Amino acid sequence: MRTPATWCFRHRRIVVAGWLLLVAALIVLSQAAGTAFSNSLALPETESTQAFQLLQANSPADSGDSEQVVIAAKGGATVTEPAIRSQAEALFATLATLPHVTGVTSPYAAIGAGQTSADRTVAFATLHYDQPGDIATVATGKLLVDTARSFRSPTLDVAVDGEVAIKGAEGGLGGVGIGILAAGLVLLVIFGSLLAASLPLVSTLIALPAAISGVGLASHLVAMPEFVGQIVVLIGLGVGVDYALFIVTRMRQGLQSGRDVESAIVDAVATSGRAVLFAGAVVCVSLLGLLTLGVGLLSGIGVAASIGVLFTMATSLTLLPALLGFFGLKVLSRRQRRAIAMHVPASETGVWWRWSAVVARRPAVPAVLALVVIGALTTPLFSMRFGTADEGNAVPTSSTRQAYDLLAKGFGPGFSGPLAVAAQLGSGPSDTSTLRAMTAAIAADRGVSAVSEPRVLSTSGSSRVVAFVIYPSTSPQDEATTDLVNRLRSTVIPDAVRGSGVRALIGGGTATGIDFTHVLTRKMPIFVGIVVLLSFLLLTMLLRSILIPLTAALMNVLSTGASLGVLSAAYVWGWGGSALGASRAGPVDAALAVMVFAILFGLSMDYQVFLAARIREEWRRTGDNKVAVSRGLAITGRTITAAALIMIVVFGSFVLGDDRMLNMFGLGLATAVFVDAFLVRVAIVPAAMFLLGRANWWLPRPLDAVLPHFDVDAEPRADVRELAGAR
């Protein structure tokens, strides 16, 4: 690390110019090539995907997404009155001309007779697309919503619900600008120097456009969802500022200890920079662990987020040393520069030196108190329910939420999440009778509100494919709806078609969400195990210890548990309120829980690497475990908590937006960082290391010989065994 750091310092103009040219080139290439984002949730082994494939093979026009265009009469009128009907039919005719729309099932047509409420104040039309909603573009969604809203009048209300409409309502990055400003203020307080405070932000903000452009180019090679850019910004801001903060802090410490500018920068990169390299590697391992789930959408998120982390690492290790070289001693506050001029040594006093002494004297007390707090935060985790939230959770001003409310008022909450059934049967009368018996059995189920008339989609020889819609009596996110789908698939439909040649498959958006949740929860233990194991191996190589990585892995699981517990309290229990987009209790998306674990596990390891690496430096220097832990905690405590505070304000800023998923991400990540930095790394981990003593540094000699060696020291040290033996 010393050689490239020296080169970047001595050729700093070339490095800065090179980065600016690279960012510009990536932006130009990305604009020229465009993007190939895809939100497809294709899960080949699931029934919902098989239902889609059956429809696609026999009637492509019916295999795509179905949107519900909801109309409601105002002022005591009904939707059947001639004037209102005329407006509605003009709306449906216009929507039928939109791109990818194959037809409209109107409530005024015979086949749509059941699409008008009993009091005739609300009705809905079904808009058929020739492509799945998850691959529709944001532009397609906005066109649909804007066109529908243009037909609103004093007598007619119009709203649209469905996956395409959701695309038209996708929000931005919430209060990310506020988060960046808050991070800058925290840096200014920490450093006492505007210049030093700006450098981590500059380094990160140069990395982000390069990362986003790189992700756009990578979307041609790997399937990635459209919203992945928001994830890259969220993670990139958090880790980028933190990585730069640790390097700048170490460089400032070098200057205060009397080193010249070049050696202070080179030593900072050779120590904290190496820790950044390992911390970033652990984050990437955690994110790329999403590939083990075998779900294209999540794999794309893992690859994209890893690209973001790699770019922030690269700027921290190359661009930042070059920028530091331009400013030298100016990164110190005026008070610190005066102290150097007067040859005043850095003081080993202050809050963190006193705190390290407290933990050293009574290590069990802070550890137990911290564990009690973590336990309290984790408790709601045992009430966690995974699922897909419906549009009843969207902001009241969105078209999808308004459509949900109108449908619930006119028909019941289940009409916003219909189940699409595709059935394959023969042409004989016996299969026709079986189909009637099956639809009757479905309609008789306690969880079903209504069943549409079956439509014949195709006839080929002696085979027919028919489709019909089931309207549950409960909302799409309700646990009873999941129970209904499972019951229909496992009992009701098999019993009705037993002994016949009829094959019926349940699909549609609601069923796809249920299948997606099932697949993820089934594969989650394997994913967690792989991430924990690989992270443990990386830390073992860096720290030459078994117990420290083992403790870190356990503590990271606790931090993640506390974070998911807070999410469960806010969203499953409904304690979050409208401020968090949790005005209505509902499930936590399984995909979000998986991504939160991957991100949190990687970010938690960041602080472990920085703390333990510095403790190991002191251990190798002194051979005294108590001194090493005390000094390591005292030296890094302020920086770790400051870095955590920056992450908290950046992640917390995402709570300010209107996107429920981003609200969850922001709350989950901010909570985990708080727990990890303020409870785990400065209380539980040091306490455990004090209690374990020299056992912290035990590593079997055969394993020591096999594992690669990676030093984080600025300069070679004597072997710790020799130091310990000399004491």
Residues 6 or more apart in contact with residue 503 via CB below 8 angstroms = 423, 424, 425, 497
b/e sequence 602-636, b meaning 16+ C-beta within 10 Å: bbbbbbbbbbbbbbbbbbbbbbbbeebbbbbbbbb
- Is residue 403 within 8 Å of 476, Cβ to Cβ? no
pLDDT for the residue numbered 12? 92
All residue ranges of the chain with pLDDT < 70 are 40-42, 60-64, 133-135, 168-176, 341-349, 461, 581, 710-727
b/e sequence 241-251, b meaning 16+ C-beta within 10 Å: bbbbbbbbbbb
pLDDT for the residue numbered 558? 87
DSSP per-residue letters across 374-425: HHHHHGGGGG--B----GGGS-TTSHHHHHHHHHHHHT-GGGGSPEEEEEEE
Torsion-angle region of residue 75: left (phi > 0), alpha (psi -120 to 50) or beta?
Answer: left
- Is residue 605 within 8 Å of 318, Cβ to Cβ? no
Residues 6 or more apart in contact with residue 497 via CB below 8 angstroms = 434, 438, 503, 504
> In what order do the strands lie in the sheet containing 101-105?
101-105, 122-129, 66-73, 156-161
pTM for the model stands at: 0.81
Q: φ, ψ for residue 365 (rounded to 5)? A: -65, -55
Residues 6 or more apart in contact with residue 17 via CB below 8 angstroms = none
- Is residue 604 within 8 Å of 560, Cβ to Cβ? yes
The C-alpha atoms of residue 73 and residue 152 are separated, in whole angstroms, by: 10
| 274: its two tokens | 């190496």
| Nearest 10 degrees: Cα torsion 450, 452, 454, 456 | -150
pLDDT for the residue numbered 719? 44
pLDDT digits (tens, 9 = 90+) for 608-648: 888 888 888 888 888 899 999 999 898 888 888 888 888 88
pLDDT for the residue numbered 447? 94
Residue corresponding to tokens 């308004």: 402
Torsion-angle region of residue 412: left (phi > 0), alpha (psi -120 to 50) or beta?
Answer: left
- Helical packing angle, 296-314 and 194-218, nearest 10°: 140
H helix and E strand count, the chain:
28, 9
At 450 the three-state DSSP class reads: strand
Q: Please give the DSSP secondary-structure letter assigned to residue 175.
A: T
How far apart are the two ends of the chain, measured CA to CA in Å? 31
Q: Which helix (H) or strand (E) holds 463?
A: strand 463-472
pLDDT for the residue numbered 345? 55
Q: 722: burial class by Cβ within 10 Å (0-12, 13-18, 19+)?
A: exposed
Tell me, what amino acid is at 358?
A: V
pLDDT for the residue numbered 283? 84
Half-sphere exposure of residue 65: CA atoms within 13 angstroms, side-chain side: 29
Q: Please give the DSSP secondary-structure letter assigned to residue 700.
A: -
Q: φ, ψ for residue 425 (rounded to 5)? A: -150, 165
Q: Which helix (H) or strand (E) holds 471?
A: strand 463-472
The C-alpha atoms of residue 91 and residue 84 are separated, in whole angstroms, by: 11
Q: φ, ψ for residue 311 (rounded to 5)? A: -70, -40
DSSP3 helix / strand / coil % (the chain, rounded to 5): 70, 10, 20
pLDDT digits (tens, 9 = 90+) for 512-547: 889 988 988 888 888 888 888 888 888 888 788 899
The C-alpha atoms of residue 214 and residue 349 are separated, in whole angstroms, by: 46
pLDDT for the residue numbered 726? 35
Centre a 10 Å sphere on the Cβ of residue 691 and count the other Cβ atoms it contains: 12
Alpha helices in 328-363 (DSSP H): 334-341, 351-361
- Is residue 285 within 8 Å of 538, Cβ to Cβ? yes
Q: How far is CA 122 from the centre of its chain?
A: 37
The C-alpha atoms of residue 135 and residue 297 are separated, in whole angstroms, by: 11
Q: Which helix (H) or strand (E) holds 299?
A: helix 296-314
pLDDT for the residue numbered 711? 59
Q: Which has the closest alpha carbon to 613: 641, 597, 635, 598?
A: 635
pLDDT for the residue numbered 689? 92
Cα dihedral 300, 302, 308, 313 sign: negative
The C-alpha atoms of residue 326 and residue 313 are separated, in whole angstroms, by: 20
Domain annotation for the chain: domains and CATH numbers = 1-34+192-342 (1.20.1640), 65-168 (3.30.70.1430), 363-385+523-642+666-727 (1.20.1640), 400-513 (3.30.70.120)
The C-alpha atoms of residue 371 and residue 456 are separated, in whole angstroms, by: 61
Residues 6 or more apart in contact with residue 29 via CB below 8 angstroms = 213, 217
Centre a 10 Å sphere on the Cβ of residue 150 and count the other Cβ atoms it contains: 11
The C-alpha atoms of residue 327 and residue 383 are separated, in whole angstroms, by: 53
Q: Which has the closest alpha carbon to 610: 507, 680, 658?
A: 680
Q: Which has the closest alpha carbon to 329: 247, 252, 249?
A: 252
The C-alpha atoms of residue 255 and residue 337 are separated, in whole angstroms, by: 9
- Is residue 333 within 8 Å of 193, Cβ to Cβ? yes
Q: What are 157's strand-pairing partners?
A: 72
What Cα–Cα distance (Å) separates residue 242 from each residue in 297, 415, 595? 28, 47, 20
Q: Please give the DSSP secondary-structure letter assigned to residue 135.
A: G
pLDDT for the residue numbered 461? 65
The C-alpha atoms of residue 431 and residue 452 are separated, in whole angstroms, by: 18
Q: φ, ψ for residue 462 (rounded to 5)? A: -95, 10
Q: φ, ψ for residue 708 (rounded to 5)? A: -60, 150
Alpha helices in 100-227 (DSSP H): 138-149, 163-168, 176-191, 194-218
The C-alpha atoms of residue 300 and residue 291 are separated, in whole angstroms, by: 8
Q: Please give the DSSP secondary-structure letter assigned to residue 137.
A: -
